[in-house]
């Protein structure tokens, strides 16, 4: 890994379980033991199928969800640290055939509570852009109020004039008319609403923005406008992005490095170009081959790996490697042991037993 001060966000063994009322055990295991770092000024893309935990990971890093365990370090400051509160125990379970057999289940164990960190100063540095702009803007507030609220919470503007000037500046930054500050969200198109969402995130002059599928709700011809704007903002303001999307072609376009998630775990992480040229994890290979290419010649000739079956439930994930139920190369070992993320080439990490 590179020098310490280059790393803006570092996440170690981050886990997020959503407990279910009336169900013993961990519940939905949305994010399982994810470790990664994000360098200052880069864009880390995160891809995976729906339900793989990529959004949960993004929100957990921001602590919009309280993590279950792990460590989050932001710019050298530990903002979250907690011990893993479960342990594996072998218990006797009645199988389908009626006989009792041993099965490993997660049981809660007592651990000290996580130390509370005041997040408000960090919220100024970490922001988020949401997927659905119409759902993430308050319909009863004008655009000016929506953007101004962020300024008020962090007390960034001393005078009223400062505040209105800053709101106007933000609106023009995202390519909206400054006179639109008095309009309500419903008066804008989807693409414009997303621009308001971006202006709101930028209002507090953040360093790090989680872009949670910011373009998937937009029309094709509008998507590229927003992608270009996000790139310009990054250049001008020196932002660091965690870019979450299910569309691999967009992620590949905008990211420096890409992480691929499957069922809560990070299975591969590499430079954007490297990941596309030499994917080494079987899941990444299938994901890449499944993306339709807008080129009839290419789609006629290329070989596609089609996965059988569906993504398993994160409530009851498969043992060992979580991908083994759909992996064409799965062995006995994959069913038993959890593969660890290892560096197979410089900067190219993958978690698969087959790679040794």
Binding site for other proteins (CB under 8 A): 49-50, 189, 191-192, 219-225, 227-228, 231, 246-250, 252-253, 276, 286-299, 304, 306-307, 310-311
Crossing angle of helices 160-173 and 190-202, in 10° steps, is 130
Report in angstroms how near the CB of residue 27 gets to other proteins at its nearest.
20
CB 50 within 8 Å of CB 259: no
Closest CA to 31 of 1, 73, 65, 82: 65
Residue with Cβ nearer other proteins (97 or 297)? 297
For the chain, the straight-line distance linking the first and the last C-alpha, in angstroms and rounded, comes to 21
Q: Which is nearer to other proteins, 93 or 293 (CB)?
A: 293
Q: How far is the CB of 224 from other proteins (least distance, A)?
A: 4
Nearest one of 49, 212, 194, 185 to 126, comparing CA atoms: 212
Only one residue has tokens 């590179």, namely 2
CA distance linking residue 343 with residue 350, whole number of Å: 7
- Provide CB contacts within 8 A for 262, sequence distance 6+: 48, 49, 52, 283, 311, 322, 323
Least distance from other proteins to the Cβ atom of residue 296, Å: 5
CB 83 within 8 A of CB 77: no
135 or 298: whose CB is closer to other proteins?
298
- With respect to other proteins, which residue has the nearer C-beta, 5 or 221? 221
As given in the structure block, the two tokens for residue 271 are 């430079």
Give the nearer residue to other proteins in terms of CB position, either 15 or 272: 272
**In the complex, minimum distance from the CB of residue 66 to other proteins, in angstroms, rounded to a whole number:** 28
Nearer to other proteins by Cβ, of 80 and 262: the residue is: 262
What is the spatial distance between Cα 297 and Cα 306, in angstroms, rounded to a whole number? 19
Shortest Å distance, C-beta 304 to other proteins: 6
CB of 328 to other proteins, least distance (A): 13
CB 128 within 8 A of CB 77: no
């Amino acid at each position: 890994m590179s020098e310490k001060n280059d790393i803006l966000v570092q996440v170690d063994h981050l886990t997020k379980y959503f407990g279910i009322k009336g169900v013993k055990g961990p519940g939905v295991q949305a994010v399982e033991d994810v470790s990664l770092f994000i360098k200052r000024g880069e864009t880390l893309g995160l891809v995976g199928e729906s339900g793989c935990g990529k959004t949960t990971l993004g929100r957990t890093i921001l602590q919009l969800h309280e993590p279950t365990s792990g460590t989050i370090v932001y710019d050298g400051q530990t903002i979250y640290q907690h011990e893993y509160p479960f342990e594996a125990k072998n218990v006797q379970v009645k199988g389908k055939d009626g006989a009792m057999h041993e099965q490993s289940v997660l049981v809660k164990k007592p651990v000290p509570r996580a130390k509370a960190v005041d997040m408000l100063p960090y919220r100024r540095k970490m922001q988020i852009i949401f997927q659905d702009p119409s759902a993430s803007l308050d319909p009863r507030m004008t655009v000016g109020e929506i953007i101004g609220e962020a300024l008020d919470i962090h007390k960034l503007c001393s005078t009223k004039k400062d505040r209105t000037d800053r709101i106007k500046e933000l609106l023009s930054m995202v390519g909206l008319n400054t006179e639109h500050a008095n309009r309500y969200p419903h008066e804008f198109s989807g693409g414009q609403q997303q621009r308001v969402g971006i202006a709101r995130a930028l209002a507090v002059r953040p360093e790090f923005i989680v872009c949670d599928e910011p373009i998937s709700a937009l029309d094709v011809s509008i998507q590229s406008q927003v992608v270009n704007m996000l790139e310009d903002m990054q250049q001008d303001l020196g932002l660091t992005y965690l870019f979450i999307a299910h569309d691999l072609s967009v992620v590949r376009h905008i990211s420096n490095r890409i992480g691929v998630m499957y069922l809560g775990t990070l299975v591969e992480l590499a430079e954007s170009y490297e990941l596309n040229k030499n994917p080494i994890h079987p899941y990444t290979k299938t994901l890449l081959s499944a993306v339709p290419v807008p080129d009839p010649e290419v789609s006629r000739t290329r070989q596609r790996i089609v996965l059988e079956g569906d993504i398993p439930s994160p409530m009851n994930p498969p043992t060992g490697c979580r991908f083994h139920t759909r992996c064409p190369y799965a062995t006995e070992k994959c069913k038993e042991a959890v593969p660890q993320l290892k560096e197979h080439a410089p900067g190219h990490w993958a978690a698969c037993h087959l790679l040794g």
